[in-house]
Chains A and B, each alone.
Chain A
Amino acid sequence: MSAGYELLGARGLAVDLNGTRILHDITLAIEPGERVAIVGPNGAGKTTLMRALSGALPAAAGEVILCSEPITNLTRETIAHSIAVVGAGISLPFATRVDDLVALGRIPHGRGPSGASAHDRERAAAAIERVGAAHLVHRDVRTLSAGERQLVLIALGLAQETPILALDEPTAHLDLRHRMEIADLLTSLAGDETIMKTKRTIVAIFHELDLVREHFTRVLLVANGTIIGDGTPASVLTPALISAAWGISPERAARF
Chain B
Amino acid sequence: MRTRRLAIGGTLLLVIVAVTAIGIGAVALTPGEVIAAIAQQFGISVGSPVSASTSSIVIELRAPRILAAIVVGAALAVAGGAFQSLLRNPLADPYVLGTSSGAALGAALAFLVPISGAAWELGGVQLAAFVGALLSVALVWRIAGIGSGEERIASVLLVGYAVASLLAAALSLVMLTSGANLRAIFGFLLGGLDGASWPRLAAAAIPAVAASLALALRGRPLAAFLLGDEAATHLGVNVQRERKITIALASLATGAAVALAGLVGFVGLVVPHLVRLMVGPDPRAVLPLSAIGGALLLLIADTLARTIGVPVGVITALIGAPFLLWLLQRARAGYAL
List residues of A whose CB falls within 8 A of some B CB.
Answer: 51, 54-56, 75-81, 83-85, 87, 90-97, 100, 103-105, 107-108, 110, 112-116, 138-140, 156, 160
Contacts between chains A and B (CB distance < 8 A), count: 105
Name the CB-closest residue of B to A79.
Answer: B236
Which of B97-105, B202-210, B216-224, B246-254 participates in binding chain A? Answer: B216-224
B85, B281, B336, most chain A CB atoms within 10 A: B281
CA distance A78 to B237 in the complex (A): 10
Query: Is B233 a contact partner of A76 (Cβ separation < 8 A)?
Result: yes
Checking A94, A96, A107, A113 against B236 with a beta-carbon cut-off of 8 angstroms, the contacting residue is A107
Q: A94-B276, A139-B334 are in contact. Are A54 and B234 (CB under 8 A)?
A: yes
A56, A78, A93, A94, most chain B CB atoms within 10 A: A94
Chain A CB within 8 A of B12 CB: no
Q: A97-B334, A113-B217 are in contact. Are A91 and B235 (CB under 8 A)?
A: no
Query: Is A94 a contact partner of B233 (Cβ separation < 8 A)?
Result: no
Chain A CB within 8 A of B40 CB: no
Query: Is B282 a contact partner of A116 (Cβ separation < 8 A)?
Result: yes
Q: A76-B238, A97-B280, A115-B285 are in contact. Are A104 and B226 (CB under 8 A)?
A: yes
Q: List 22 A-B contacts (CB under 8 A).
A: A56-B230, A56-B233, A76-B236, A87-B228, A87-B234, A90-B231, A92-B226, A93-B85, A93-B226, A95-B336, A96-B226, A96-B280, A97-B280, A100-B281, A104-B224, A104-B235, A107-B237, A113-B216, A113-B218, A116-B282, A140-B336, A156-B227
B233, B236, B282, most chain A CB atoms within 10 A: B236
- Inside 8 A of A76's CB, which chain B residues have their CB? 233, 236-238
CA distance A159 to B280 in the complex (A): 19
Query: Is A105 a contact partner of B235 (Cβ separation < 8 A)?
Result: yes
For residue B286, give the distance in angstroms from its CB to the closest CB of chain A.
Answer: 9
Query: Is A160 a contact partner of B235 (Cβ separation < 8 A)?
Result: yes
- Inside 8 A of B186's CB, which chain A residues have their CB? none
List residues of B whose CB falls within 8 A of some A CB.
Answer: 3, 84-85, 88-90, 216-221, 223-224, 226-228, 230-231, 233-238, 276, 280-282, 284-285, 331, 333-337
CA distance A80 to B223 in the complex (A): 15
- Inside 8 A of B236's CB, which chain A residues have their CB? 75-81, 107-108
- Inside 8 A of B226's CB, which chain A residues have their CB? 92-94, 96, 104
For residue B156, give the distance in angstroms from its CB to the closest CB of chain A.
Answer: 14
Query: Is A97 a contact partner of B335 (Cβ separation < 8 A)?
Result: yes
Name the CB-closest residue of A to B89.
Answer: A93
Checking B221, B228, B234, B281 against A95 with a beta-carbon cut-off of 8 angstroms, the contacting residue is B281
- Inside 8 A of B223's CB, which chain A residues have their CB? 104, 107, 115
